[in-house]
Every structure is written in structure tokens, then in C-alpha cells.
Chains A and B, each alone.
Chain A
């Protein structure tokens, strides 16, 4: 059967079928260590929103450990706390916590490590991107946390549960302050609305996926000076419906996980649309391997309210050709619960951060 699949696949490639039209995707076999990180007794992983590795193989986890607290009896509702950032060595031994009680740690969304081993944190509720140097000192900030929260009247607003993939009506109105711009276009600045991810090109330019509230990619130079942004809410090329992840290849092409539109869009570094990758489910987390032959991984993450759909992770060539897929939604090792982060510094050794299972899995792929 497997041989037949391969024959079919090769035939399809020779026939020049567009990658997105593949009907049979080979399964990649893999193993998992479901608890690679050893936590101190009094620290528990919550929703594992972000996971990343540095050049030494150290593992960083940005996790939702609680909900932000709002105090009574103050002039305005102020939000505090809710997420924590931890570092482990490559053997899984706990090294340290970073950014304790940080002003910007409210609802963890992502952590990424740049080429110089700086640690970048994206927080969905404070709408901030925070750069720590390898020693743990804050080096650069993008965005600003709201001084206080605007609490909606306590009404039964339906299922907050789906907020990871919220219906459009639940997301904050995009384009606020956009001076008449298209919905979701946001401001021409570093004012984010629920950003989701960050990436860099070889020159160190910074690209922020923004996000749930806005529907844009914002580009900054390496010193944090705003350059440009592109995108608005919609389904056309160059438009987005929840920008949920971003990754950049060695040539500077920008891959954007456009979850709600069930596609990955590819742009050049100036935001010019190049192509889109379809038929890989609803891409929610993406990463690109380093090295001379780069691969693109993308998770078709299941929604938190259902583990009987989706959940598989795709491995692709950068041109979108699917190499294979693995996994499914569920709670066991080798199953995935709403994957929010992929780390693929090593092509066949992935770390996966799960919202649904409060877990980081270390996967070893065994491609044929």
C-alpha cells in the first residue's frame, strides 16, 4: 500500500499536478516523548502556547499559567499576570524562569528565538512583542499594553471556549485608528491587536503577525522602527482571516498562516503576494527548518472544543509540495491537542506546544 502511494505520488508530481491538489498524503512515522521538560515540583505547565529552541538546544516555553487578575476598588480595571516564560536545557532540565512578573505577560501566545539566540515573546492580551537578550534582559519592545482593560458588561456572550479561533464577531473590531483604512488593516505603527507571532529575515528586519484583532503583517527594521504593513480582513490574496503564524525562509520570503482562510500565503519581504498553499487543513502554527534544504511544517490544529477532527501536521517543501503528514487530534502521546507552536530547528526533531493538552511534546520523525 505504501509503495502504491509512493508510485501515485511520483506519478502526480510528474504529471505536474499543483501541490495543493494532492489527494493521498504519505504518513510520516514518528515517536514522541510526551514530557521532555522536567518542571520543579511547584511549577506546572498550563496551556503551552509557545515553544522554541536556541542554538544550544535549550528549550523555551511561554505558557498560560493563570488568568490575568483584575483588582477591585481601583479607578480603572488593571490587568496583572497570567503567563510565565521558562528555560530548560537540551536534556529537559529546568534552567530558570525569565521575565518574572513582567508588565507584558498576560496571555501567552508565542515564543521564538532569533539567529543571535535572543528570546522574543508575543503576548496576545498585552498586544506586545518583547525581546530578551540571551541573559534575560529586556532589549526591545514593540507595542504597548493597554493602561487598563475595558471590561464588557457581564452578559452571556457565548462560548469563550472557541476564542483560540474566535468567530469574527468576538474579535475586536479591526482597523481601529486606521483612519479609514480597510477593516483589519490596523495602524501604520506598532499598535497591535492581539498579535500572534514574530519572525526575522537575514537582515534582522522584524515581521509581526497581527493577528486576531488586526489582519495584517507589520514590518520593522532591526531597531524596531516601523517600515510598513500589509493586509486587511478578507479572503483575497493579500488579505487575511486571523493571521496566526509567520515564518521566513533563507531567501526572505514570508510565509503567513492564514488560519481562517485555510491557507498559507507567501509574500516577498516587501509584502508582494507570491503564492498560496492550500489543502493543508487550517494552518495554525508554522515553522521553517534552517540549513541548505529548508522544509516548511504546518499544523492543522483542531479547535479546543473538538478532538475528533483535524490535528495533523504537514511537512512541505518551500514551494508547497507536501512531503508527508503525521499525527491526529487527541490526548495520548503522539496525538495533538490544539497545537499552537512548532519548533523545527532540527528537521526530524520537533517540539510541539499544545493548548489543549497543557503539554510540550518532543517528536522524532522517521521519514522513509
Chain B
């Protein structure tokens, strides 16, 4: 099926399907429910400092927490392991316009992915920019509806609303790109293009993407991509050759892989923006999985209350039993203490 005919099919749905929303119910059945608690008063903001939409959250090796948020300006904050405010990073820099993701690499460098400037920024632990990927469109070019233009051939070093970043053990850089392009790009540790999978066009075949929205790499170098609008996660080897597709977990908005000898994979079937009627009944949960796709359990649900989730956009899972979630629509970061030993089967929803 050509991309053109796909869009003809989708367009009427968007125009007339008032009760139809993009999110899908996960196919997985009889998944054990993992109990958890949300830590009250987790992040302590100084007076006068507010969190906006919490897009990115990540921790470094010391347990410090980094939050990338859309407030009046897009900003990046650091907190210590107790949630005490430490500092702001990258204040007012040229690459901050519309936050999307923050990740911390094994050397504790902080990487911010901004879908407003089409940039991926690498900050060293001191908070200085040491490398940038992509190129922000020049202001003198005037207003552009989207840049690059949708469907324009994807360039090696230009990103189109990129979404996330990850690394393998060699330091190779993997960027999920994004809302305009629909691909994953592999760069070497010096930022030189090596390879891509997917293209500027969305697609639903294996190794095609429709809004690759999150990315993570395991210790073997395999690459896990949240293929959000295709309602699945795709797994590739280090050379971006297809390995597996996990399509029973709803819409994979974001992925996280825990470190250590036994790695776990987390993915969120986040409730859709705008909370369409019925959406809370079938979305909002996070899945804990083995790397091979075996589902170990699930936790959480869509809700505006403390402990519930409002469009989880990103997770940190450095400790697989302490998940930190960033939520778009509650302007909130929560720390969840999981109790997997007391997981039990819940009635299938």
C-alpha cells in the first residue's frame, strides 16, 4: 500500500471519527498487576520555580535527577537524589525551544533532545555544551510550517523533530527521528553518520516507523524503538537489522532499559493527550518486560490523581524497582516504588 493511500484512509478517520482516538488497548491478557507507591513531595522546587509539562526525566550515576520541561521557556533542571533542587542547566541556550527528552549516558553526560530546534545537545557533567547534533533552521529563513518539510528526503545531519537518544557500549549514538522524519539514525561517538533505518516517510511495515517516539539500547547493543503510532515496539540489532516486534503492549510511547546483569525493559501505553472519552479504560499502564518481550507485569493507570498517570512521556529505570515518570498533562514527576514480589493477577480489563 502506498503512503498516499494510507493517508487517504487516515484522513476521514481524523475528520469524522470524533470518538476514535489513536491509542489502542494492549492485546496482552492476564498480566500480573505490580503494586506500587508514589513518593509524596518527591521533587522540591524552590519558591518561584515551577514545572511545566514534564517531558524528560533521567538520573545520573549518583542518583541526581534531571528534568526537561516546557514552561514559559523550555528549561532543564537538576535535583539531587533526595529531590533537592541543585541547579538549572543550559539556561537560555540556542537549542532550547520545545523540550522532548533528556537522557544521561554512562559518563554522566546529559543529553537533551529538543523538537522545537531539531537539535540533540550533549552537556558534560559540568553543564556545558560539548557536542550538538542537527541544525536549527535559521531565523532569517522566516517562518516555516515545519522544517524539514514533511516528505523531504531525510538528510544525514538534519533532524526533523527528533524525539529521543540512546548509546551502545562503544558510545555510538542512536537518535529516534521523529515526528517529521520516521527513522532511527546511528552516529558514531564523534557524531559522524553511520546508518539509518526507516526514512522520511511513515510506514507500518517492519523496519518502517510511524512516529518513533523513544529509544533505548541494551548491554548487547540491541536497539529498542517505541514505534508509537504503529502501536508497537521494534527491536533491532546494533547494525539496525530487524530482530523482533512486540505488538501486544498498546502504543509504546517511551522505552527504558534497566542496567545490571539482568536487564528489564519498560514501556508505557500512555493515555492519549486530550483524554478522549473511554481512553482511561484501556490505556495508561506501564509494562515491565524481559528483553525478549516476555511481559512480567504492569502497573499504573490513567488518572489525574497523585499516583495515577497523565500521559507518561518518559521514564527512568536505573533502579528497576524505583521508576521515575514524567507526565505531560499533570506537569509532574513522580517516583514510584514497585513491589514486584507481591504482584498478582488482576482481572483482565
Report A's interface with B, CB cutoff 8 A.
Answer: 35, 39, 41-47, 63-68, 82, 106-107, 124-125, 151-152, 154-161, 163-164, 166, 170, 194, 212, 304-308, 330-332, 356-358
Closest to B153 in A: A159
Instruction: Please indicate which of the listed interface residues B91, B127, B128, B142 has the most CB atoms of chain A within 10 Å of its own CB.
Output: B142
Task: Report Cα–Cα, A52/B150, bound state, in Å.
Answer: 39
Query: With A331-B131, A358-B129 as given contacts, are A160 and B144 in contact (CB-CB < 8 Å)?
Result: yes
Looking at the assembled complex, report how far the CB atom of B68 sits from the nearest CB atom of chain A, in whole angstroms: 15
Closest to B122 in A: A331
Query: With A65-B94, A157-B149, A332-B190 as given contacts, are A124 and B140 in contact (CB-CB < 8 Å)?
Result: yes
Contacting residues, chain A, for B344 (C-beta < 8 A): none
A151-B143 in contact (CB<8A): yes
What 1/0 mask marks residues of chain B from 108 to 151 whose CB sits below 8 Å from any chain A CB?
00000000001000000001110110011111111111111110
What 1/0 mask marks residues of chain B from 86 to 117 whose CB sits below 8 Å from any chain A CB?
00101111110100000000000000000000
- From A125, A163, A305, A358, B132 is in contact (CB under 8 Å) with A358
- From B90, B141, B150, B157, A163 is in contact (CB under 8 Å) with B141
A44-B90 in contact (CB<8A): yes
- From B97, B143, B147, A159 is in contact (CB under 8 Å) with B147
B94-A125 in contact (CB<8A): no
A305-B157 in contact (CB<8A): yes
B190-A163 in contact (CB<8A): no
Query: With A156-B150, A158-B152, A306-B157 as given contacts, are A66 and B140 in contact (CB-CB < 8 Å)?
Result: no
Instruction: Indicate whether B259 reaches chain A with its CB closer than 8 angstroms.
Output: no
Contacting residues, chain B, for A154 (C-beta < 8 A): 143-145
What 1/0 mask marks residues of chain B from 144 to 179 whose CB sits below 8 Å from any chain A CB?
111111101001111000000000000000000000
Task: Report Cα–Cα, A151/B140, bound state, in Å.
Answer: 11
Looking at the assembled complex, report how far the CB atom of A20 sits from the nearest CB atom of chain B, in whole angstroms: 30
Closest to B151 in A: A156
Query: With A158-B149, A330-B190 as given contacts, are A125 and B140 in contact (CB-CB < 8 Å)?
Result: yes
Task: Report Cα–Cα, A18/B146, bound state, in Å.
Answer: 47
Task: Report Cα–Cα, A101/B94, bound state, in Å.
Answer: 16
Looking at the assembled complex, report how far the CB atom of A181 sits from the nearest CB atom of chain B, in whole angstroms: 23
Query: With A163-B138, A306-B156, A330-B190 as given contacts, are A157 and B144 in contact (CB-CB < 8 Å)?
Result: yes
Instruction: Indicate whether B193 reaches chain A with its CB closer than 8 angstroms.
Output: yes
Instruction: Indicate whether B44 reaches chain A with its CB closer than 8 angstroms.
Output: no
Instruction: Indicate whether B304 reaches chain A with its CB closer than 8 angstroms.
Output: no
Instruction: Please indicate which of the listed interface residues A39, A65, A308, A358 has the most CB atoms of chain B within 10 Å of its own CB.
Output: A358
Interface residues on B, range: 35 or more
Contacting residues, chain B, for A305 (C-beta < 8 A): 135, 155-158
Contacting residues, chain A, for B138 (C-beta < 8 A): 107, 160-161, 163-164
Looking at the assembled complex, report how far the CB atom of B180 sits from the nearest CB atom of chain A, in whole angstroms: 10
Looking at the assembled complex, report how far the CB atom of B145 sits from the nearest CB atom of chain A, in whole angstroms: 5
Instruction: Indicate whether B3 reaches chain A with its CB closer than 8 angstroms.
Output: no
Contacting residues, chain B, for A163 (C-beta < 8 A): 137-138, 140-141
Closest to B155 in A: A305
Instruction: Indicate whether B206 reaches chain A with its CB closer than 8 angstroms.
Output: no
Task: Report Cα–Cα, A194/B142, bound state, in Å.
Answer: 13
B94-A42 in contact (CB<8A): no
Task: Report Cα–Cα, A137/B345, bound state, in Å.
Answer: 73
Instruction: Indicate whether B63 reaches chain A with its CB closer than 8 angstroms.
Output: no
Instruction: Indicate whether B191 reaches chain A with its CB closer than 8 angstroms.
Output: yes
Contacting residues, chain B, for A155 (C-beta < 8 A): 144-145
Task: Report Cα–Cα, A41/B78, bound state, in Å.
Answer: 14
Contacting residues, chain B, for A358 (C-beta < 8 A): 94-95, 129, 132
Looking at the assembled complex, report how far the CB atom of B7 sits from the nearest CB atom of chain A, in whole angstroms: 15
Would you give 8 A-B contacts (Cβ < 8 Å), ordered by A?
A45-B129, A67-B139, A106-B139, A159-B147, A160-B141, A160-B147, A331-B192, A357-B132
A44-B190 in contact (CB<8A): no
A44-B94 in contact (CB<8A): yes
Closest to B116 in A: A67
With A44-B90, A66-B92, A159-B155 given, name 16 new contacts (CB 8 A): A43-B92, A67-B136, A152-B143, A157-B141, A159-B137, A159-B148, A160-B138, A160-B147, A161-B148, A161-B155, A212-B140, A306-B155, A308-B193, A331-B190, A357-B131, A358-B132
Task: Report Cα–Cα, A332/B187, bound state, in Å.
Answer: 13
A161-B149 in contact (CB<8A): no
6 A-B pairs closest in CB distance: A46-B94, A160-B137, A163-B138, A160-B141, A44-B93, A156-B149
Task: Report Cα–Cα, A155/B145, bound state, in Å.
Answer: 5
Contacting residues, chain B, for A66 (C-beta < 8 A): 92, 94
Looking at the assembled complex, report how far the CB atom of A192 sits from the nearest CB atom of chain B, in whole angstroms: 13
A64-B143 in contact (CB<8A): no
